[in-house]
Amino acid sequence: MNWGKSHSFSEFVDTQLLDLQSRFGMAMWFLTRQRGEEWLLLNACGQGYDLGRGDMLRWRDSICHRRVSEQGPLICPDVEGEPLYNDAPITRRLSIRAYIGLPLRDQNDRLFGTLCAMDPAPQPLLDQSDIREALRRQCHLLETALIWNLAGLDQRRIAEFLEEESRDPDTDLLDRIGWGRILDQERRRCEDYGLEAVVLRLHGAMLCAEQRQMVADSIAALIRHQDMAAYLGHDQFAVLLTENNLAYAEQVRQRLLDALNAKGVLMRCDAESLSLMRGLMQPQALFEGAMH
């Protein structure tokens, strides 16, 4: 399996979860991402719960939160008999009698999420030292692949941007076709790793060629090397801020507007979260040459 491509990482995880289920049982296995107060299911394998890839739950409600913060047992054959787990809020929504949970850390040694499994029936045969060690080895393999892929995301973004040939001839930024492809590539990464991204839309009115180039130059100077920009026509530019949310994007938005105002170029800048819907053009509202 080639871990060097983000789309194959998800396939690798699916294979690992299927192997874990065949070896150790349990109704469902998950790769999860902890993102603030959110608990995102990146991959899911098995049946028994109405849960699947992309579902979002509250992190503090989960048994995984208890496992990570209170150092509960790695393997819990019967959740009802474990004081650290039996009153977790998620147990009021889901019938969880057996639980397995291992924390996963990212390339910066921060908590990424968990490899976990749940079953609606107790699993007394799970609590064996050889099973515990086998699970730790499997978790280490998955964490190694995760770290390797996360560390290479920015390089892949830069390569995709440089290799994209569909560009605006005047600004050398991406055009709408190239921009659409870049958005879909980032959407796949967001799905695979539980990332967020923000799209900025800068739009003016009746800009001359020199002013459009000034805008393009200002964007290039102020965004990070892993962020990407496009000229969409009708005096409208777009910026993709990767691994970002609306709160942090506001700082970039204000810096761009300040830089353009200092050059005498009046623009408006709006922000929206990147949608995961493939093929969706963002920004969605494109007004022909009018600044609203």
Kindly report the CATH number assigned to the domain that includes residue 135: 3.30.450.40
pLDDT > 90? residue 292:
no
Model confidence at 169: pLDDT above 80: yes
**The domain boundary residue, chosen from 90, 119, 151:** 151
| Predicted structure pTM score | 0.89
Question: Please, which residues bridge with residue 271 across strands?
Answer: 200
Average pLDDT over residues 158-178: 94
**Do residues 52 and 170 both lie within one domain?**
no
To which H or E segment does residue 160 belong?
Answer: helix 153-163
Supply the pLDDT for residue 290.
44
pLDDT mean over 63-70: 91
Could you tell me if 111 and 187 lie in one domain?
Answer: no
What's the pLDDT tens digit per position in 20-47?
Answer: 999 999 999 999 999 999 999 999 999 9
Q: Are residues 232 and 266 in the same domain?
A: yes
Q: Is residue 169 part of a domain?
A: yes
- Look up residue 93 and give its amino acid: R
93 belongs to a structural domain: yes
Does one domain contain both 58 and 84? yes
What is the extent of the structural domain holding 67?
Answer: 6-151
Does the structure show a pLDDT above 80 at 238?
yes
- Looking at the fold, whether 164 and 124 belong to one and the same domain comes out as no
Q: Which residues contact 256 (CB under 8 A, 6 or more apart)?
A: 200, 202, 218, 219, 222, 239, 267, 269
Q: What is the mean pLDDT of residues 220-245?
A: 95
Angle between helices 153-163 and 129-151 (to 10 degrees): 30
Q: Inform me whether the pLDDT recorded for 3 exceeds 80.
A: no
| Alpha carbons 73 and 66: distance in angstroms, whole number | 10
What's the structural domain count of the chain?
2
Find the mean pLDDT for residues 124-133: 88
Looking at the structure, do residues 217 and 239 belong to the same domain, yes or no?
yes
Mean pLDDT of 95-102: 96
Residue 287 lies in a domain: no
Indicate if 160 and 251 belong to the same structural domain.
yes
Does residue 119 share a domain with residue 30?
yes
Residue 64's SS3 state is helix
137 and 252 together in one domain: no
Asked if 266 and 253 count as a contact pair (C-beta separation under 8 A), the reply is no
Asked if residue 283 belongs to a domain, the reply is: no
Q: What is the pLDDT of residue 285?
A: 58
